[in-house]
Structures are given as structure tokens and as C-alpha cells.
Amino acid sequence: MKDQTRRWEGDCPWKRVVLKLSGEALADATGENISGEVLKNLASEISAVREAHDVDIAIVVGGGNIWRGMSGSVGGMDRAQSDHMGMLATVINAIALQDALERAEVPTRVMTAIGMAQIAEPYIRRRAERHLDKGRVVIFAAGTGNPFFTTDTAAALRAAEIDADAVLKGTHSGIDGVYTSDPQSNPDAELLDEVSFLDVLSQELAVMDSAAIAVCKDNATPIVVFDLMTRGNLESILDGVAIGTLVK
């Protein structure tokens, strides 16, 4: 019987990827804090992917399970101050993820856009590329280092800087790609197999913020939106299986 599985062009299209994780994806059942079980499962999957594929993996992690800059701004806090708190939250998540990866025997480096030399390396593009060339997983923390920019934009920017072949945006809460509308409120929403950057912007589809989409569009960096919580999805994508939605 013919294999009907959708596949990307080529057997394994990408050799260097940026995996974008939201802070909420790392949260426990309350939607806050950090789940040790989630970290363990994620580290195990990344370890398996590295053993099965010759691929460089960089990670950009959010901090929404601890603090969201926009939420503080809505509450009356200065937006820049609130965003800097959010950047610090991403560093906490990055260190937790580093610990889980190293317990899974995955060599890892955390690099931050805000200087904190006692706990992480400063982000330097050439040093990051050197770590990746040596087979280390690099976790980029503290967003872009600037307020008013999301970690989605940081992922797009870092992908362009390290010449990544794609951004893999891992989702959670059962969302497995980009839909025509919110599938949690509209049962008739349709999953899109592929969508253009222009359609994402013009139709305001829930992929990443507009600044991140613009950076990826300008640098021709495709984005794959997929369900991170389903075991095996990450490896299948790097095997060439078309999972989720491809934005290009």
C-alpha cells in the first residue's frame, strides 16, 4: 500500500533549527511554575532526536508560566520594567531546561541577551554558532534583551543570526497547527497544512506576533507550527513528515 503520509520536500530538509517553546508549555497542571515531568519528557525527546539525526538544535524559551510582561503592563506597571521581569523569567526556564537536558546527557549552553555572567554566557553570535558546530544544544534566554519585543521575535531573530533552516514553534493545550480561526471556540475551524507569510499577516492568523513573522519572511525562514506535547512529533518533523502547519 502506498504511504499516504504527507512529507516535506526532501528526506530531511533541515540541518539547523530553532525550537521555540512557550513558558506555558513547561508549566505544571496549574499553568504556572515548572513541571519536572514535562522537562524530563522534553529532554528525552531532544536527546533521541540528536541521536537519530545530524541536526543542530537551538532553543528559545518563553517565560509566561512565571511572568508575562504584557500582563504587568495591563495592571499599571511600566511596560519596560514588566518586560524586563519577563526576560528574567525566561532565564529561570532556560536554566531548568538546561538541567533536564544535561541529566539526559545532552551537552547544553544557556546564552542570555542580558548579562548575568555568573549563571549563563552572554549571547555572542559566533560563540553560539561554535557551540552548535560542536554538537551542543544552545538555549537562548532573555528574549532579544529589549522591552516591547516577544520571545517569538527573539526566535525569529536568532534563527536569522545563526542561519537556521527553520523555526519549529511547539504548541500545547491540544493545538496542533494553524487554524482558520480559534479551534477551541469554533468547532468548524479548519487546520491549514500550509500558509504563506502574507496570509498570516493579512488574516491575522495565530502563529507568532507580526514582528516575528516579518523577520522570518524577510529571511525566507520557514516556520512549522506543531503540537510539542505529542511524543515523537519533533523527530517525525526532522524525518521529513509534514506535521502541523508549514508557514513559508
Whether the CB-CB separation of 139 and 194 falls below 8 Å is answered with no
Q: For the chain, list the domains and their CATH numbers.
A: 19-247 (3.40.1160.10)
Radius of gyration of the chain (CA): 17
How buried is 54 (Cβ within 10 angstroms: 0-12 exposed, 13-18 middle, 19+ buried)? Answer: exposed
pLDDT of residue 206: 77
pLDDT exceeds 80 at position 10: no
Mean of the per-residue pLDDT values of the chain = 89
pLDDT tens-digit map of 153-185: 999 999 999 999 999 999 887 778 888 877 777
CA atoms within 13 A on the CB side of 221: 29
pLDDT of residue 73: 64
Q: How far is CA 187 from CA 102, 183, 227, 234, in A?
A: 41, 6, 18, 26
pLDDT of residue 242: 86
pLDDT exceeds 80 at position 13: no
pLDDT of residue 171: 86
pLDDT of residue 2: 36
pLDDT of residue 30: 75
pLDDT tens-digit map of 205-244: 878 889 999 999 999 999 999 998 888 999 999 888 889 9
pLDDT of residue 170: 92
Determine the average pLDDT of the residues in 94-100: 97
What DSSP string runs through 210-235?
HHHHHHHHHTT--EEEEETTSTTHHH
pLDDT of residue 174: 72
pLDDT tens-digit map of 29-79: 777 789 999 999 999 999 999 999 899 999 999 998 888 766 666 678 899
pLDDT of residue 1: 32
What DSSP string runs through the chain?
------B-SSSS--SEEEEEE-GGGG--TTSSS--HHHHHHHHHHHHHHHHH---EEEEEE--TTT--HHHHHHTT--HHHHHHHHHHHHHHHHHHHHHHHHHTT--EEEEESS--TTTSEEP-HHHHHHHHHTT-EEEEESTTSSTT--HHHHHHHHHHHTT-SEEEEEE-TT--SEESS-TTT-TT--EESEE-HHHHHHHT-SSS-HHHHHHHHHTT--EEEEETTSTTHHHHHHTTB--SEEE-
What percentage of the chain carries pLDDT values higher than 70? Answer: 94
pLDDT of residue 3: 44
pLDDT of residue 178: 87
